[in-house]
Amino acid sequence: MPNWLLPEYIQDMLPDEAWRIECMRAGVLELLRLSGYQLVAPPLLEYADSLLVNGSHDMDLRTFKLVDQLSGRTLALRADITPQVARIDAHLLNRQGITRLCYTGSVLHTQPAGLMRTREPLQVGAELYGHSGLESDLEVQRLMLQALASLGVSGVHLDFGHVALFRALVRHAGIAQELETELFSALQGKDMPALRPLVAGLAPEIRNALLALPQLYGGVEVIARARAVLPGYPEVAAALDELEQAAAHLQPLAHSIGIDLAELRGYHYHSGMVFAAYHAGSHDAIALGGRYDDVGKSFGRARPATGFSMDLRQLHGLLAVQTQPKGVLAPHRDDVALQKKIAQLRAQGHAVVVDLLGNPALHTELNCDRALVLRDGAWQVVEIKL
Amino acid sequence: MPNWLLPEYIQDMLPDEAWRIECMRAGVLELLRLSGYQLVAPPLLEYADSLLVNGSHDMDLRTFKLVDQLSGRTLALRADITPQVARIDAHLLNRQGITRLCYTGSVLHTQPAGLMRTREPLQVGAELYGHSGLESDLEVQRLMLQALASLGVSGVHLDFGHVALFRALVRHAGIAQELETELFSALQGKDMPALRPLVAGLAPEIRNALLALPQLYGGVEVIARARAVLPGYPEVAAALDELEQAAAHLQPLAHSIGIDLAELRGYHYHSGMVFAAYHAGSHDAIALGGRYDDVGKSFGRARPATGFSMDLRQLHGLLAVQTQPKGVLAPHRDDVALQKKIAQLRAQGHAVVVDLLGNPALHTELNCDRALVLRDGAWQVVEIKL
């Protein structure tokens, strides 16, 4: 096998893509900075025990493990940055009030999340710790939609779910761990044939509620339907109120809003409202997030938390191809006036490419649409056709 | 062991450091872009066969390996980005003329390169392919020094070596591979007691030259001394001429210039002039590079190449601590005039942090030195002491 072949679902970013993604990254980080989100950069690898502390079995399987030669312990390559940022909030910053953090970096997966996905997504995201009210959910949801808009992603559909609904039903019915896991799978897959036998032995109120959940998806009218068919537990009423308010607030920023009450994505660590952005160009969600109030607990400090993340490589695939701005070709000459002109152009932000070979046949490779030429005794920029 | 502990020589970047390094990264990439270097971003992992193709045994030992579940083959985490960029030049871009590429990203090492180093350096670098003359060496050397200056690193000592000198002696003497390796180790360590027995059986001209190399270090006067004591092979004369010209050209950009003719760093893939920048604050070189004309060969296409790289985390450690600019604290209120003012400030580049908790005792955590207050019916920015 030729040694220049890359592993499956692993890709290089070549010039135009790399440049565009670098601009996208800078743009999202600047947007987050302007709202007070401070950048942190946790490492690519940690002890497996730390990285997988809140993880699902699925996340465990998708995480690369290796042995640390210095300690003999098992290391893991991060498959998600959120738990690392929670560790930083819980243990390192240790603030009492609100902490807003953002991050960007690659994560690695043993298996791709989908046929069109890479095993090396480039995550960017934001997390808000220390506030449990709806205001912080709205802040991160708004930021996520603003970030997508700033990247030029339009026609975004925003879908809401609420993990507290299923959790409330499980708690009130005293459902055991094992059955909870099976119910979770069936609901997540909207798999009615699997769901029916699982709920058969439960009290009618709970049974009907669990059977209703997979049907409770659609527009915001779903919230009213849910009020009618779900039990009136205070947690249920509160969750539905939150969904109603969030949908009303975010409506002006999204192309359309949906509600999906069987959506339990991230159930292993989410605790409240969850949300995901969709786009016609992608089968998978293009950005997602939610509330996960207990994540810091395993690091010694439970803090309310909500946040979002997205994969810039996935988003880049949705955007129209855009090539890097072209530069100015300069001859290679030891001429003071020329060097001064080159420095001037660079100070103005123009890329100036020195033509070391001086072979016109190779000019097209140098990515220039202008050239510096000596005319009437002065170096001037002229347009060139290559 | 607490699960928030990180592995040895692995660190988080917390807000001020992460922000500063992000700015350093953006600054260096912009400097490179302005000289026509196009950004590429190769993956964090590849098949081990591809990554270690030009590597030394030392690099092999420093490279983490893992098994690819999709192919069953051995993957490696990159310990260096240069071979990946050479692969992109040789195989993917396949240009006939000059290709200028730059890159930035983390690499991982099983062992730290020094006691003060991280196992996860953040490399940034530039490579110029397709030109074998001194002009391209000078271009990348100049860029390296400009990059250091732009980051605020001053007092840089630039050291030159030339791998072609040792290679010429080996070739003319017909020295076998095994002896070459031993000679290389002894020279690299300036280990005279080890060197003497190794050269005992060689022709006097070669013996004397090899014994002289470890003494040939100091200022530019070393070049004249080398002309006197090294054999007059054409390659030797050419290498010494190159060193002389490079030293003269770079002199104005460096604090001091040194020559070290036993310096064979990167000998396993370098082929010509090598260079390294030093700073009083660091035992190790803070930036380094050189010519490596054969790197692409194993990817099917040998191309002349020269480049440099540096570790932004190491450089950050040399700079005076600098904290992130502070923001403007804004009350959390559903007030149209306030929201307008916040949007205005953000559009001007100010971070505006919404005070969701409204607890003055926690304000110091929010990293603000100004606040938005309602005065005379208008929202105004006032300085605050926290």
Please tell me whether residues A317 and A377 are part of one structural domain: no
A 79-98 residues with CB < 8 A to B:
84, 87-88, 90-93, 95-98
Average pLDDT over residues A194-214: 94
**What is the tens place of the pLDDT at every residue in A73-108?**
999 999 999 999 999 998 888 888 999 999 999 999
A133: in domain: yes
Please judge whether A93 and B14 are an interchain contact, meaning their C-beta atoms are less than 8 angstroms apart.
yes
Query: Is the Cβ of A280 closer than 8 Å to some Cβ of chain B?
Result: no
The complex's ipTM works out to 0.93
Write the CATH number for B309: 3.30.930.10
Please tell me whether residues B148 and B167 are part of one structural domain: no
3-state secondary structure chain A: CCCCCCCCCCCCECHHHHHHHHHHHHHHHHHHHHCCCEECECCCEEEHHHHCCCCCHHHHHCCCEEECCCCCCEEEECCCCHHHHHHHHHHHHCCCCCEEEEEEEECCCCCCCCCCCCCCCEEEEEEEECCCCHHHHHHHHHHHHHHHHHCCCCCCEEEEEEHHHHHHHHHHHCCCHHHHHHHHHHHHCCCHHHHHHHHCCCCHHHHHHHHHHHHCEECCHHHHHHHHHCCCCHHHHHHHHHHHHHHHHHHHHCCEEEEECCCCCCCCCCCCEEEEEECCCCCCCCEEEEECCCHHHHHCCCCCEEEEEEEHHHHHHHCCCCCCCCEEEEECCCCHHHHHHHHHHHHCCCCEEEECCCCHHHHHHHCEEEEEEEECCEEEEEECCC
B117: in domain: yes
Please judge whether A346 and B45 are an interchain contact, meaning their C-beta atoms are less than 8 angstroms apart.
no
Which chain B residue has its CA at the smallest distance from A41's CA? B13
Mean residue pLDDT across chain B: 93
Please tell me whether residues B31 and B116 are part of one structural domain: yes
Please judge whether B100 and A353 are an interchain contact, meaning their C-beta atoms are less than 8 angstroms apart.
yes
Per the CB < 8 A criterion, the answer to whether A279 and A287 are in contact is no
Please tell me whether residues B132 and B203 are part of one structural domain: no
Shortest Cα–Cα distance, B367 to chain A (Å): 8
Shortest Cα–Cα distance, B128 to chain A (Å): 11
Which chain B residue has its CA at the smallest distance from A301's CA? B4
**What is the tens place of the pLDDT at every residue in A11-51?**
999 999 999 999 999 999 999 999 999 999 999 999 998 88
Please tell me whether residues A283 and A377 are part of one structural domain: no
Please tell me whether residues A20 and A77 are part of one structural domain: yes
Nearest to B34 among A45, A99, A352 (CB): A352
pLDDT of residue B93: 83
A 191-250 residues with CB < 8 A to B:
none
pLDDT of residue B55: 66
**What is the tens place of the pLDDT at every residue in B214-257?**
999 999 999 999 999 999 999 999 999 999 999 999 999 999 99
Please judge whether B356 and A95 are an interchain contact, meaning their C-beta atoms are less than 8 angstroms apart.
no
Mean residue pLDDT across chain A: 93
Domain count, chain A: 2
A41: in domain: yes
Query: Is the Cβ of B324 closer than 8 Å to some Cβ of chain A?
Result: yes
Please judge whether B8 and A70 are an interchain contact, meaning their C-beta atoms are less than 8 angstroms apart.
yes
Shortest Cα–Cα distance, A14 to chain B (Å): 5
Nearest to B18 among A39, A65, A332 (CB): A39
Query: Is the Cβ of A322 closer than 8 Å to some Cβ of chain B?
Result: no
Whether the pLDDT of residue B9 is over 70: the answer is yes
In which element (H, E) is residue B355 found?
A: strand B352-355
Range of the domain at A356: 327-383
Query: Is the Cβ of B348 closer than 8 Å to some Cβ of chain A?
Result: no
Which chain A residue has its CA at the smallest distance from B128's CA? A356
Please judge whether B3 and A53 are an interchain contact, meaning their C-beta atoms are less than 8 angstroms apart.
yes
Q: For residue A190, how many other CB atoms are within 10 A of its CB?
A: 15
Question: CA nearest B157: which of B34, B291, B276?
Answer: B276
pLDDT of residue B52: 85
Q: How far is CA A309 from CA A60, A123, A250, in A?
A: 19, 6, 17
Please tell me whether residues B183 and B227 are part of one structural domain: yes
Whether the pLDDT of residue B17 is over 80: the answer is yes
Measure the CA–CA gap between B81 and B67, rounded to whole angstroms.
20
CB-defined contacts A:B, below 8 A: 249
Please tell me whether residues A60 and A14 are part of one structural domain: yes
Please tell me whether residues B164 and B81 are part of one structural domain: no
Whether the pLDDT of residue A305 is over 70: the answer is yes
B271: in domain: no
Q: Of B216, B232, B260, which residue constitutes the final position of a domain? A: B260
**What is the tens place of the pLDDT at every residue in B43-89?**
999 999 888 876 678 889 999 999 999 999 999 999 999 999 999 99
**What is the tens place of the pLDDT at every residue in A128-173?**
999 999 999 999 999 999 999 999 999 999 999 999 999 999 999 9
Nearest to A356 among B17, B95, B131 (CB): B131
Nearest to A7 among B68, B350, B351 (CB): B68
Please tell me whether residues A42 and A138 are part of one structural domain: yes
Please tell me whether residues A317 and A334 are part of one structural domain: no
Average pLDDT over residues B20-27: 97
Shortest Cα–Cα distance, B11 to chain A (Å): 6
| Range in A139-143, A264-268, A363-367, B159-163 with the lowest mean pLDDT | A264-268
pLDDT of residue A271: 84
**What is the tens place of the pLDDT at every residue in B341-381?**
999 999 999 999 999 999 988 888 899 999 999 999 999 99
B267: in domain: no
Whether the pLDDT of residue A299 is over 80: the answer is no
Encode burial over B255-293: b for 16+ CB neighbours within 10 A, e otherwise.
eebbbbbbbbbbbebbbbbbbbbbbeebeebbbbbbbbb
The model's confidence at residue A386, banded by pLDDT at 50, 70 and 90, is: low
Average pLDDT over residues A203-229: 95
Please judge whether B108 and A44 are an interchain contact, meaning their C-beta atoms are less than 8 angstroms apart.
yes
Shortest Cα–Cα distance, B193 to chain A (Å): 33
Angle between helices A163-173 and A204-212 (to 10 degrees): 160
Which chain A residue has its CA at the smallest distance from B48's CA? A3
pLDDT of residue A77: 97
The model's confidence at residue B386, banded by pLDDT at 50, 70 and 90, is: low
Which chain A residue has its CA at the smallest distance from B42's CA? A12
Please tell me whether residues B288 and B147 are part of one structural domain: yes
The model's confidence at residue A236, banded by pLDDT at 50, 70 and 90, is: very high
Whether the pLDDT of residue B289 is over 90: the answer is yes
This prediction's pTM: 0.94
pLDDT of residue A54: 66
Average pLDDT over residues A183-206: 92
Query: Is the Cβ of B58 closer than 8 Å to some Cβ of chain A?
Result: no
Whether the pLDDT of residue A212 is over 90: the answer is yes
Phi, psi of B230 (to 5 degrees): -90, 155
Tell me what percent of the residues of chain B surpass a pLDDT of 90. Answer: 79
Nearest to A43 among B75, B120, B136 (CB): B120
A356: in domain: yes
Whether the pLDDT of residue A53 is over 90: the answer is no
The model's confidence at residue A267, banded by pLDDT at 50, 70 and 90, is: low
B121: in domain: yes
